[in-house]
Amino acid sequence: AQSVSQHNHHVILSEAASLELGCNYSYGGTVNLFWYVQYPGQHLQLLLKYFSGDPLVKGIKGFEAEFIKSKFSFNLRKPSVQWSDTAEYFCAVNGPSGAGSYQLTFGKGTKLSVIP
């Protein structure tokens, strides 16, 4: 079964600091990768996704992620965080292909607190 690991449970940063959230997945085949964001009291929203092609993916609000196949990683980055980025971030992967490929496996989430 697919599994997703997010290394940090809670990250606290000051505004303007750079952000990198780690995500590793277990499946070695073809996968699609996602980062979702959940602002306090809200539902999950898609931040960015990787399907194929350029391993550096740009998403909304200045976020980007890099897919490194050899490391089974899909880390999320932002050069300069803002207080409004305070939220919980979830990494997700679909697969394996075939039955169940439309099912997403989510990591446990990383809470980001940005201090003004």
Partner 1 sequence: DAGVIQSPRHEVTEMGQEVTLRCKPISGHDYLFWYRQTMMRGLELLIYFNNNVPIDDSGMPEDRFSAKMPNASFSTLKIQPSEPRDSAVYFCASSFGTSGRYSYEQYFGPGTRLTVT
Looking at the Cβ atoms of 80 and 101, the one nearer to partner 1 is 101
Q: Given the complex with partner 1, which of 28 and 100 has the nearer CB atom?
A: 100
DSSP string, 6-69: -S-SEEEEETT--EEE--EE---S--EEEEEEE-TTS-EEEEEEE-SS-SEEE-GGG-EEEEEG
- Give residue for tokens 């897919």: 67
100 touches partner 1 by CB under 8 A = yes
Residue among 76, 78, 88, 87 nearest 22 (CA): 76
Amino acid at 12: I
* Near partner 1 in 17-36, by CB under 8 A: 32, 34, 36
- Site residues for partner 1, 44-63, by CB under 8 A, read 44-46, 49, 51
Please report whether residue 113 would count as binding partner 1 according to CB under 8 A.
Answer: no
Q: How many residues bind partner 1 (CB under 8 A)?
A: 22
Positions in the binding site for partner 1 (CB under 8 A): 32, 34, 36, 42-46, 49, 51, 90, 94, 99-104, 106-109
